[in-house]
Structure 1
Amino acid sequence: MQKPTSIGITEPLKSKPTGKSVAWIGSGTKNDNTAYGSFAEAAAVLNMKATKLEAGADPQKAARAIEQARSQGFDAVVLSGLVTSSVGPQLAELHDSGVKVVGYSTSLEGHSGPSIDFSFYSLPEARRFGGIAGDWTIADSGAAAKVLIAYPPDIAAAVAQRDGFADRLKDMCPSCEVKDLEFSFSELGGALPSRIVSAVQADPDIDYVFGTFGGVFVGVPEALRQAGLADRVKGVTVGGTPANMIQITDGNMLAASLDQGLDYTGYMVADAVARVFAGQDVPVDVYRGLDMPVQLHTADNIDFDPTKDWSGEPQDFREQFTHLWQQ
């Protein structure tokens, strides 16, 4: 409802990871890139060197990136948005070699695993985010929504958000229905808009589209408008970008977005990496997901500059983290 004033973490960092090198292996989405940019900024404050190794949503590329991180001697790896089961052998070999591994938005049910020292925003949190998007859809539709869910099956958080959304409608809205549309990253802004239009045309009862991240809606409002369907369908997403905020404020098909402060996320991941290096416990109660600043945005409450990434964290969060890191 309003910005918090504290980052929620109170224990000082025992020692800086000076000179440590960290590889960020991510999906390459707009949100992933924004979080990495903030992570790299925080890593510099911590005297770490951050490097981005692109994996996309291809398990083979992810496996090669993990092998590259091991062969190049990185001290730690951040996995962002990867289905860890698809890179299990490579991940185990990496961790066994002594490399610290921190997950962000990975396919774990908890905060750690056999080859992951700490996982931030794991599957339970992603399901909760999907469930909140489902709550909005139920309320907005008067408990009568038929929803097309568009998601990439290779992205762990996207699958979990899909499940959380669908389960919420199943449990709370007997008259609601969902229909799945799986897609690959290569279809974003290309084939995906026409596929969404085709699905809406094929089922006249579809009146909502849930895209599991903001990039799903690139080109979709325009494609629906060209097909004469723009007034029939509303969109809802998680992790909207500035382009999505403009879609919402313009009334351009997308109606709601559940958002995190991605700059803040990058600092939280950097803090987790530093605490793993220092042998300290990462404060799980702060890292559960919904203890981050989160807001459901609609046209009624976007009172910030929609051309910039939403910032819901404490205004001085950088200074608060830096203070803990310099004790």
Structure 2
Amino acid sequence: LQRAKRAGIPVIATHTYQDGEEPPAAVKDLLASTTTVPFARSGQLQADYVVAQSGCEAKPLIITTNDLLASKHILKGMKDEFAELCPELEPGVIDVPVGQWGTNIKPEVQSYLVKNPDTDWVMASYDDQTVPAIAAIQAAGKGGSVKMTAYNGTPANVKQIQDGDILAADVGESINWLAWSVVDQSFRILSGVEPTEGGDQKTPLRIIDDSNVDETGTPPNNEDGYGDAYVEGYENLWQTGS
């Protein structure tokens, strides 16, 4: 970043910081702008879904990863929403470093389910945590009683919902919409226009479950399920439409 700054090359940090979050002081002056993400909102929506399905009697387990910057916001969003909706509900939490997802999520989740047999939800902070978590649920013999939520909306995960697997809901984000927002921010920098304040491009999230999963395509893809009005909006803004 320092070398890019000295060379006059603007740098935009994308999908790194929470909406409303300032980059660290050591980094802030080295960035031309950011495009932020509603990480906390993704956690809130997962909590909303669990409560909508199971009420305040839910017994969820949260998988977090403290060595990823977004995790603290996702976890806080989940905990704050549970505290708001169900003050007596205390979710379990396990922290698995990102480099250990493939090896440690399964045994840790399985062990938790054995020790806490009334657990009925596992909430993954990221889609890539779901495969080992589902394996843990099945290994614990809980495939019929424990459901999952996750965040990212990657097509492979969404297909699990479509196929009726243990994953009940995924808080999806439109990768295409995010890409357009990054290009918009880049155009602003390159043309000498002030970037979007705080980097918040208002990119959306959507809870995907059995009720709407087919809107994402069969099989699911990155383009469907979020509408396409943003394309015309950006093209009109930059006068690039045909």
Q: Sort the TM-score into its range (normalised by shorter chain).
A: 0.7 to 0.9
Counting only pairs closer than 5 Å after superposition, residues 137-286 of structure 1 correspond to structure 2 as: 137-284=50-197
How many residue pairs are counted as aligned between the two chains?
A: 233
RMSD: 2.7
Q: 1:116 aligns with which of 3, 28, 31?
A: 31
The answer to whether structure 1 residue 299 and structure 2 residue 214 are counterparts is no
What fraction of aligned residue pairs are identical, expressed as a percent? 24
Q: Specify which structure has the bigger relative contact order, considering alpha-carbon pairs within 8 angstroms and separated by 6 or more residues.
A: 1
Give 1 or 2: higher helix fraction. Answer: 2
Q: SS of the counterpart of 2:11?
A: strand
> Counterparts of 1:308 and 1:148 in 2: how far apart (Å)?
28
CA shift for structure 1 position 161: 0.9
Contact in 1 for aligned 2:177/2:230 (Cα 8 Å): yes
- Distance (whole Å) between structure 2 residues aligned to residue 170 and residue 316 of structure 1: 35
Residue matched to 1:104: 14
- CA 101–219 in structure 1, closer or farther in 2 if over 3 Å, else same: same
- Preserved CA contact (<8 Å) 2:63 2:96: yes
Distance in 1 (alpha carbons) for counterparts of 2:235 and 2:10: 22
Cα gap change, 1:310/1:216 in structure 2, threshold over 3 Å: closer, same or farther? Answer: farther
If the length of structure 1 is used for normalisation, what is the TM-score? Answer: 0.63
Aligned to 2:221: 308
In structure 2, C-alpha distance between the alignment counterparts of 1:310 and 1:144, rounded to whole Å: 36
Q: Which amino acid counterpart does residue 105 of structure 1 have in structure 2?
A: H
Structure-2 change in CA distance of 1:119 and 1:144 (3 Å): farther
- Where structure 1 has 5 or more consecutive residues not aligned to the other structure, the ranges are 1-65, 71-93
Equivalents in 2 of 1:214, 1:223: separation in Å?
A: 15
The TM-score, its normalising length taken from structure 2, stands at 0.83
Residues 196, 135 of structure 1: CA spacing in aligned structure 2 closer, same or farther, 3 A cutoff? same
What is the deviation of 1:163?
A: 0.9
CA distance in 1, matches of 2:54, 2:227: 33
